[in-house]
A = this chain, B = another copy of it.
Amino acid sequence: MKEDILYFASDYMEAMHPDILQRLIETNMQKSLGYGDDSFSKLAKEKIQLACNCKDAGVYFFIGGTQTNAVAISTLLKSYEGVIAATSGHISVHEAGAIELRGHKVLTLADREGKLSAEQIKSCVDTFNNDGNKTHMVFPRIVYISQPTEYGTLYSIEELTKISDVCKQNDLLLYVDGARLAYALACEKNTISLQDLAALCDAFYIGGTKCGAMLGEALVVPNPKLLPNFFTVMKQEGSVLAKGRLLGIQFDTLFTDDLYLKIGKNALVLADKIKTALVDNGYKLYLDSPTNQIFTIIDNSKLESLSQKVCFSLWEKYDDTHTLIRFATDWATKESDVDKLIEIIKNLA
């Protein structure tokens, strides 16, 4: 890492929220049982059940999003079933075929700004059901969406309810990837609460790694009968930590005093400041994304100059002379760094 460069490449650049670190320090030499049977993990599960208003939910801690998605989804599917996802969905592209490794097809649908609609899902299922050769095809069984999406956009409660209804009517399970859920929950435009997710989905995960934890995601399954003997499934997948307390302590802290609901706020305020600066200086935003990821289009001639001062994500080719890039803020982003970034943007314009 170079000292004189600004880092806006992702939302996992620092280690962990100071409250979590403090708790690790306090508990370091305490002895505890292994494999998640410790008191910290139990407490964390109870707090998450409470926050989701779903006291019987299964709560399972994983070390990362790819593992959570792959293990949960493959366990929920029979061998001949597949998962519907957006073409831009994380499981469709950037998880190195983890779903396929475990034997299942990702059935992709074109998304609109990262989102699928209830109508698309219905149409996909109808097409399958009407095919004379449907028994020669993968059966759609799970719908996978992300909140926020890969493009930082948000589903509304109306949209999620419609999708949930279509799923129930067609014997589909609904799975929500919440890798960046804290940035949705802290957003003013957001209309979906944790309780809503628990009420409308069959499974979702509360992202830790990108939201202030050093590592960890909490999978929530309102009806845990869907995942019998899931500890053993996790064990054989290599997902179980001998010192499970390390995940328990983190989520216990994140769900104490509503830290998780508030932790994304800083990122959102600063992301808005960057967006405004981009627009004010004549840059085009790729889409109107209300969370912590900012997608903008930049003239290729300016790319090198920008990259000498700022570390950002090259998203994709936009056209022959422009590129889509992404900045991300997070819970730890400093306003002073944002101000420096805005200065660079101005000068480059």
Query: Which A residues fall within an 8 A CB radius of B?
Result: 1, 7, 9-10, 12-16, 18, 21, 24-25, 27-34, 38-39, 62-68, 70-71, 75, 78-80, 82, 93-98, 100-106, 132-133, 135-139, 209-210, 214-215, 228-229, 231-233, 235-243, 245-246, 313-314, 332
Chain B min CB distance to A14 (Å): 5
A-B contact pairs, 16 of them (CB 8 A): A1-B33, A10-B242, A14-B28, A15-B28, A15-B245, A65-B242, A68-B238, A71-B238, A82-B100, A93-B136, A93-B137, A97-B104, A97-B137, A100-B138, A101-B236, A214-B246
Which residues of chain B come closer than 8 Å to A232, judged between CB atoms? 80, 96, 135-137, 139
A75→B15 CA distance, assembly (Å): 30
Looking across the interface, which residue of chain B has its beta carbon closest to that of A62? Answer: B238
**A96-B135, A214-B246 known, 14 other contacts, Cβ within 8 Å:** A7-B31, A9-B33, A65-B242, A70-B236, A75-B79, A78-B228, A79-B236, A94-B133, A97-B103, A100-B103, A101-B237, A132-B313, A139-B229, A139-B232
Would A16 and B32 count as touching, CB distance under 8 A? Answer: no
The answer, among B28, B82, B97, B241, for a CB contact under 8 Å with A82, is B97
Q: Which of A32, A97, A313 has the most CB of B within 10 A?
A: A97
Would B104 and A70 count as touching, CB distance under 8 A? Answer: no
Would A24 and B27 count as touching, CB distance under 8 A? Answer: no
Would A31 and B1 count as touching, CB distance under 8 A? Answer: yes
Known: A103-B101, A135-B229, A243-B15. A236 touches B80 (CB 8 A): yes
Known: A15-B243, A16-B28, A215-B246. A233 touches B80 (CB 8 A): yes
Chain B min CB distance to A213 (Å): 9
Would A237 and B98 count as touching, CB distance under 8 A? Answer: yes
Chain B min CB distance to A228 (Å): 7
A97→B237 CA distance, assembly (Å): 9
A38→B1 CA distance, assembly (Å): 8
Chain B min CB distance to A40 (Å): 10
Which residues of chain B come closer than 8 Å to A132, judged between CB atoms? 313-314
